[in-house]
Amino acid sequence: MDTSPALLLLLTLGSCEYGHRLGQPLPREGQNPSADSSCPGIYGQSLEIKVRSPKGITQLRVGQKLELECWTGRHSGAFWIRQDKTGTLHFIVFISSMAKATFGGNQKTSTRFEARKEDVFYHLVVKSFTPQDEGNYFCVMIFNQILYFSPGQPAFLPATTVVPPTTCGPTPTHGITEDSNLKTQDPERRKQEDLNFFCHIFIWVPLAGACLLLLIALVITIVLCQETRRRRCRCKR
């Protein structure tokens, strides 16, 4: 019966932790692992594992495709795991030496991830990056009963900057000075307008009166002329 790769990884980590709790020290680098066959060692130096992102992940965005590449130098298969912000490890996929991928839940495919093997390179693709995919990604390999971790590859979305609410600042002083200048100029302008108005009255009122008198005199003259003409006509008859 096949064993789930996630269960195998958890059992390996669990056996080490159990042995450590019983007071059995983990084998150090360079120590013969057979000295403590109950617990495989955890190393990151004696067997070099490199993780990189071919396209770079300095400007991650939501929905972006994230590609990670792990170089182990061996055909022993590799695990991909993620450590979230709380430090919890999440199993993603196990890629066997025959390039067979097994995802969480012993599934052969995943809606969120893609995995493949090319020679001694083990690739992981996050199809559409979301906030729940943030964390440090590790490539893990078991070789000669020793568990090797790669350096963590951080993958985080840019921190969102909160724009502080805008507050109304004080009213500029130059606006007040301009208004005060306008207010100080208003009386002078008004005085000048009043003078102009009085001048217009003194000029136009007498002129209008003179015109009216002339018009009245003209009307009276016309009426008198007509009366005189009528009288002359009656006397001749």
Tokens of 215: 């018009």
Please name the residue that has the structure tokens 């009255």. Answer: 201
Q: HSE (CB half, 13 Å, CA atoms) of 39?
A: 21
> Residue 36: what pLDDT?
41
Give the mean pLDDT of 115-130.
95
> Residue 136: what pLDDT?
95
Tell me how far apart the alpha carbons of residues 191 and 195 are, in angstroms, rounded to a whole number. 6
Range scoring the smallest mean pLDDT among 37-41, 120-124, 135-139, 173-177: 37-41
Q: Render pLDDT for 40-92 as a digit per residue (tens, 0 to 9).
A: 445 444 568 888 887 767 778 999 999 999 999 888 899 999 999 999 999 99
Q: Render pLDDT for 186-227 as a digit per residue (tens, 0 to 9).
A: 677 777 777 777 677 777 778 888 888 888 888 888 888 888
Q: Render pLDDT for 104-115 as a digit per residue (tens, 0 to 9).
A: 889 999 999 999
What separation in angstroms does the CA of 186 have from each of 176, 182, 192, 195, 199?
Answer: 15, 6, 10, 14, 20
Closest CA to 137 of 77, 78, 97, 59: 78
pTM for the predicted model, two decimal places: 0.56
Name the residue ranges covered by the structural domains of the chain.
48-155, 194-236
pLDDT band at 14 (very low <50, low <70, confident <90, very high): low
Q: Are 153 and 56 in contact (CB under 8 A)?
A: no
Tokens of 150: 């790669």
Tell me how far apart the alpha carbons of residues 215 and 195 are, in angstroms, rounded to a whole number. 30
Rounded (5°) CA angle 133-135-138: 105
Q: Are 86 and 118 in contact (CB under 8 A)?
A: no
Whole-number percent of the chain with pLDDT over 90: 35
Tell me the H-state helices in 22-158.
none
DSSP string covering 86-97? TS-EEEEEEE-T
Whole-number percent of the chain with pLDDT over 70: 66
Q: Are 114 and 93 in contact (CB under 8 A)?
A: no
The CATH class, in words, for 48-155 is: mainly beta
Tell me how far apart the alpha carbons of residues 137 and 186 are, in angstroms, rounded to a whole number. 76
What separation in angstroms does the CA of 123 have from each of 16, 65, 193?
Answer: 27, 13, 89
